[in-house]
Amino acid sequence: MSLPPLGEERLSALLRHVSDTITVFDAEGTVVWLSCGSASTLGPDDQDGLGQDALAQIHPDDRLTMAVKLAELLTVPGGEIRTEYRVRTADGGYAFCEGTAVNRLDDPLIEGIVLTSRSITTQRRSELFLRSQAGILDAIATGSTLDDTLGQVKQLVEDLVAGATCAIELDRPHAEAAAADIDPWARCLVGVSNAVRLGVLRVTVDDERLPRDEEVSVLDTAGHLAAIALERVRAEEGLAQLALHDPLTALPNRTLLRDRLNLALRRMGRHQQSVAVLFLDIDRFKVVNDSLGHGAGDELLVALAGRLQLAARPGDTVARFGGDEFVVVCEEVVDIVHVRTLAKRLEAAFDEPFRIEGGDVVVTGSVGIALASSATEDADTLLRDADAAMYRAKEEGRGRVAVFDAAMRARAVDRLQLEGEFRQGLARGELVVHYQPIIDIRADRIVAVEALARWRHPTRDLLLPLEFLELAEETGLVIPMEEEVLERALADAVQWRVNDIDLAINASAVHVADPDYVSRVRQALNRTGWPPDRLILELTERVLLDDDHGVLSTLGALREMGVRLVVDDFGTGYSSLGYLHRFPVDGVKIDRSFVERLGTGDRDEAVVRAILAMAEALNLDVIAEGIETGLQLQVLRRLGCRQAQGFLLGGPVEADELKFD
C-alpha cells in the first residue's frame, strides 16, 4: 500500500510535530516559509513569522554575527554553515539553539536560504549548573568567606529556578529544621561527615507550584553545597576534632577512617546489607606537583575533597588516606552493582576542570572497590584489598574502576617481585636496545632511527616498555635505565658509519627536570663522538606542562649544544598548544591514535591536516607514528606529511639487523 503524495498541507501538518524549526528566507532576508508548530519551542507561529526579517527573532547580541555569516553564505551556492545563537520563544523569552543554514537559492523548488534550528537550552542550562557548582566548590576550597560562598549558592538557585528567591537560615531550632524535610521548596542543611543539622535553605516562587524534576536536583545540590560550606567553616573554627581530621582538606584522617570503618563492619552484622570501601587515587598527581608546585597540588586536593563530599551520599565517610589518596566508606550497600553506581558518582567529580592558581587543570582518578563479605573482616584487610583494586584500575588505563577479586592479591605480590627483578636486571645487563627506522616517505629512505628499550627477562622472554616503564618511573629506576639506553644507542650509532642518519632517544620528565642532565648528555656525546646535531630527544607533553625555569633552562642548553627536540605522542596531552611557542622544540610526532583511523573518516584526517598546517606555520618537523596499513601511508602522502614510522615501514630490530640501503 503506497502513501499519498506529500502535498504542502500534508507536509505542514507533519512538520508541526517536529521539534526542529525550519525557516526559508530569500536573498533579501525576508521569511518566505516557516515550519513551527506544537512540537517546537522556537520562534513565532507560522503565520506570524512570514514576511518578517529573518533576523528579527534573533537575540540583539547575536544578530550582527549571524548577519555576517549569512552574508558570506549568500556568495556560496550550495554552501552550508553551522552556528549557535539565541532566538525568541513563543512566551517572549530567549532559547539557546544551534542552526544549520544551507544556500538553496539556485534550487528552483526552494529558491531560498534554508535554516534548520534546534533548541539546546537544556544543554546550556546543564553547563551553567556545572560551572556554578564548580565555582562554589572552588570558593569553599580556597577559603572564601561564608557569606560569599552562601551568596553563590543562593545565586545558583535563583539562576536555575524560574521566579525563585532563595534564603539560607543558620542555626534554626530543631522543629524548623525538621519541618524543612517535608517542605518541597526547602532543604535541611545537614553536615556531610557528622549528620549535624546546620540550618535551612528556603525558596519562594512567584506562583504556587511544586518544583519540577530538574529544580529538585538544583535544590538538593544547593543544600549539599551549603552544608559543605557550613561544615568547613565550623571545622576551621575549631569545632571539628583536629586530631582526627586531615589539616589540609578537613576530611577525616586515617585514624578516624579506621574507627568508622570498624564501626560500620560491626553494624553490618546486625543488618542484611554490606559495607564497601572505595579507594581513589589521582592519576599522575606527581606531574601537577612537579610542574605547578606543591601549593597548586594542595589546592587540587582541597577542591577534590569538596567534590567528593558532594558526590558521596549523606552518611558516607569521605577520608583523606594520605598524599593524593582518598577513601570513601559506604554503608547499607546492597550488592556490587549498587557500589559501581556509587563509584560513578565519585568519577563524576573529575568531569569539570579544577581551577588552580588561576588556570584550569584536568586530572582523572582511578578507583578500587572492596566489598565486605562478612562482619568478621577488619578495616585493614578491606583497605588493603581496595588499594590493590585501585592499582588494577591504573594498570587498565587510569580513570577507571576495578573491583577486588582473589587474584588481585597475587598480582600485587607479582608486581612487587617484578620491581625487584627489574632492579637486579639493570645491574645484570638485561636491558637491550632495539631500533626502529623513521622514513622520508617522499624519498622512500631512512632518515633516522629511534632507540627503544627492551628487557630480556630471564624467564619471561623479551618484555616491551608497556610492561615495565611505568614501574621504572614510579620507582625512580627510569633514570639509570634511560642513561644506559643513551650510552648504548650512541655506541651503536657510531658503528653504522652512515653520515646522514639521525638517532632519536626518549627523554623522561624525570630526566629533563634534573639540572645535571645536560652535562650527562654532553659527556656521552663526547665519549662516543656522535654529532650533537644528529641526536633527537623525544619529549612527552607532560614535560612541557608549565613555564618551569629549570625545564626551560635544560631544554635551552640542549638546543645550544645542537641537540634537536621533538614532542612525542603529540595531541594526547592536556597542556596548551601554547608551549610550542614557549619551549624551543624542533618538531612534533603525531600520536598513533590519530594515524590509525586515517582513511576511515574525515575527522581524524582533519586533525592530522591541522597539525601539519600548524607545524608548517611554526617551521616544525612532523613525524607520523604507528603506520600499519598502505591506506594510512597513502593518506599521509596526500596530506603532505614527509616523515613516518611504523611496522609497515619497518619494525624495531637489534643494531646488527638494521638495513640502511
Residue range 573-612, pLDDT digits in tens:
544 455 676 677 888 898 888 888 887 777 778 888 888 8
| Residue limits of CATH 3.30.450.40 in the chain | 124-236
According to CATH, where is 3.30.450.20 located in the chain? 8-119
How many whole angstroms separate alpha carbon 311 and alpha carbon 529? 59
Q: Where in the chain is the domain with CATH 3.30.70.270?
A: 250-287+322-404
Best CA proximity match to 508, nearest among 554, 559, 439, 456: 554
Contact 52, 32 (CB under 8 A): no
Give CA–CA dist 454/439, Å, rounded: 22
The cell for 266 is 560491626
> Which amino acid, residue 534?
R
Q: What are the start and end residues of each CATH 3.20.20.450 domain in the chain?
A: 428-657
What per-residue confidence (pLDDT) applies to 240?
A: 41
CATH fold, domain 8-119, is Beta-Lactamase (3.30.450)
Q: Which three cell numbers stand for residue 145?
A: 568567606
- pLDDT for the residue 574: 46
The pLDDT of residue 1? 41
Sites in the chain below the pLDDT cut of 50: 1-3, 6, 38-39, 46, 239-240, 546-547, 574-576
- Return the CATH number of 124-236, one of 3.40.50.2020, 3.60.40.10, 3.30.43.10, 3.30.450.40: 3.30.450.40
- CATH class as words, domain 250-287+322-404: alpha beta
Domain 428-657 has CATH 3.20.20.450: yes
Rounded to whole angstroms, how far apart are CA atoms 246 and 255?
10
Q: How far is CA 282 from CA 398, 437, 517, 544, in A?
A: 9, 36, 28, 20
Q: Report how far Cα 12 is from the mean position of its chain's Cα atoms.
A: 44
The single-letter DSSP state of residue 245 is B
- Among 365, 361, 352, smallest CA distance to 397 is for 365
- Alpha-carbon span 79 to 262, nearest angstrom: 67
Query: What is the distance between the alpha carbons of residues 361 and 350, in angstroms, rounded to a whole number?
Result: 10
3-state secondary structure 620-660: CEEEEECCCCHHHHHHHHHHCCCEEECCCCCCCECHHHCCC
From CA 354, how far away is CA 307, in angstroms rounded? 10
The pLDDT assigned to 306 comes to 92
pLDDT of residue 361: 85
Residue 513 phi, psi dihedral angles, 5° rounding: -75, -10
Contact 99, 85 (CB under 8 A): yes
